[in-house]
Structures are given as C-alpha cells and as structure tokens.
Amino acid sequence: MSHTAQIPSHRKPRRSAQKVTVLRAGVTGGVLSTIAIAAAAGPANADAVTQTVEMPTLTSGLASDFAKSADATQRVANNLDLRAQEDAAIAKAAKSAKTAKAEAERKAEAEKKKAEAEARAEAARVAEAERASRTAERTVLTASSSNSNTGSSNSGSSTGSSTSTSTASTVTSQATGSAAAVVSFVQSHIGDAYIMGSTGPNAWDCSGLVQAAYNQIGVNLPRVSQDQSTAGTQVSLSNLQPGDILYWGSAGSAYHTAIYIGGGQFVGAQNPSKGVVQASLDYDPPSGAVRVL
C-alpha cells in the first residue's frame, strides 16, 4: 500500500462555472453601483454626465392607427371637394336660369311694344279713315247746300247720291283666276262688321280682311297694313288691276289697306261705323297700290 493512500487530499474542490459567473456579475454590479454613488456625491462643479435616450420604435398597432387617421382625413377632403363641386353646379344653374328669365322678359317686352305699336297704328288708321269720311260727307253737304235754291234741286241732289251708291254696290269685276277669287271673297263679306284686330269670319279689320282674301288662294300676306303696303310690286294708281292691294298712307307705314275689284271700285273694312263696304276710288282716294298676283 502506498504511504499516501490514507492521507486525505488538501486540494480545495473547484467551484462550478455557474457560481463563478454569478460571483463575477455581483462584483461587477457592486463596482458600478459604487461609481454611480460616488458621481452623485461628487463636487457641484463636476462635469455633467451625458445620457443617451433611445426613442421607442413604432409598433404595428400605432402604424395602423396612423393609417386609419390618414384615410379619415382623405375622406373628409373628398367630401369637401364634392360639396364644392355641387355648390359650383348650383351657382351655374342659378345663373343660367337668371339669364333665361331675363331673355324671356326681354322678348315679352319686345312683343308687347310691337303689339302696342300695331294697335296705335291701327287706331291712327281708323281715326284717319273716319276723318276722311267726315270730310267727304261735309263736302257732299256743302255741295248740296250750294245747289239747294229750290226743293227740287235738293231732291235731285239726293237722287244723284242714291244712284251713285247703287252703282258702287252693283259693279261686277272682270277679274279672272286667283284675282277673281280674291275679289269674290271680299265682295262676299260686304256688310260684315268692323272690329279692330278681328280676322273673321263675320267681323274684320282692314288688314285682316285683305290677309284672309289672299290666304284662301294660298298666298300668305303679313298681318298689318304697314307690311302689306310693301308685300308686292308697287304699281301706279292709273294702272290698277283687280286683286291689287290699295293702301292709305306711305309705303311701309300705311294705316289702311283694301282690295281693288275693278271698275274704279274697292272693297275694304273701313271703320266701326261703316263695316265692310264697296266704294269708289273717288270717294276715298288711296295713296298707292301693290300687286301680288
């Protein structure tokens, strides 16, 4: 047996690596704590310790919240833009409606003025016709008075007047074709009433009768005397033909029209007191004439 076999070993047992690591960590922590305490207890003029702070990183939850906020902001912007477009459309529509209303009012005012002008012209024509009629009647009365030395003279004068009226009412036109149709139409309405603005069938004003006479043969004439006086070719009063349109006043501003039927006679709607009559050109000489046919 060895002489050292029963002698216990004096070598200290080795500590495990884990215990050594823990011991070293503890020592290190103690040292660092001591340094920190010393720094805090150091003099007031010691250099300041710079500390670096790391900012937190956005998590997936925060990123989602930001995305939702951005979407909401975009929706609000889109809604505001849509509202602005709607407001602009409404303003544009209102402006268009205002313009259309102004144009309609302007046209209505123009039509009203035109109608008033035509009414004034027709009234002037009627007044002129009545004045001419009164003048003619005064002329006849003056002539009768100057020749009325005896009762027989007065009687003769009255007889002559009746004969003249009878002759005017029995004149037969020698017109043919369309002119004959025009003449026949106006003669068929002798005795009808005169009403300003009327166009038949039993009451007329002067231009309404003339227009209707030509309409029934397919010729469209203007409605008022002023325009009818320039609706055809101007002809001399010494070269009239049945169917010619006679006018009183100047061409383009005439106040009365009628139809020449031949034989020195015309038919026209004269005035409210006489209605539609057939009369001699000498009774109420026209200013001019136009030929349409």
Count Cα atoms within 13 angstroms, Cβ side, for 107: 5
d(CA 195, CA 269): 9
pLDDT at position 209, please? Answer: 98
Q: Quick check: helix, strand or coil at residue 290? A: strand
Question: Smallest Cα–Cα separation from 137: which of 283, 268, 276, 257?
Answer: 283
Q: Label residue 193 exposed, middle or buried (CB < 10 Å: 0-12, 13-18, 19+).
A: middle
Neighbours of 163 (CB within 10 A): 10
Percent of the chain with pLDDT over 70: 60
Mean pLDDT over residues 48-69, rounded?
61
- Of the pLDDT bands very low, low, confident and very high (cuts 50, 70, 90), residue 53 is low
Quick check: 164 pLDDT over 80?
no
- Of the pLDDT bands very low, low, confident and very high (cuts 50, 70, 90), residue 174 is low
Quick check: 131 pLDDT over 50?
yes
Position with higher pLDDT, 261 vs 163: 261
Looking up tokens 């106006």 gives 186
Q: Are 254 and 225 in contact (CB under 8 A)?
A: yes
Residue 163: CB partners within 8 Å, gap ≥ 6? none
Mean pLDDT is lowest, of 44-48, 96-100, 105-109, for: 44-48
pLDDT at position 146, please? Answer: 41
pLDDT at position 286, please? Answer: 97
Quick check: 119 pLDDT over 60?
yes
Question: Smallest Cα–Cα separation from 195: which of 283, 274, 279?
Answer: 274
Question: Across the chain, what does the average pLDDT equal?
Answer: 75
pLDDT at position 240, please? Answer: 97
Condensed to tens digits (0 to 9), the pLDDT of residues 185-217 reads: 999 999 999 999 999 999 999 999 999 999 999
pLDDT at position 73, please? Answer: 83
Condensed to tens digits (0 to 9), the pLDDT of residues 266-281 reads: 999 999 999 999 999 9
Tell me the backbone φ, ψ of residue 246, rounded to 5 degrees: -90, 145
At 140, the amino acid letter reads V
- Of the pLDDT bands very low, low, confident and very high (cuts 50, 70, 90), residue 182 is very high
Domains of the chain in sequence order: 131-291 (3.90.1720.10)
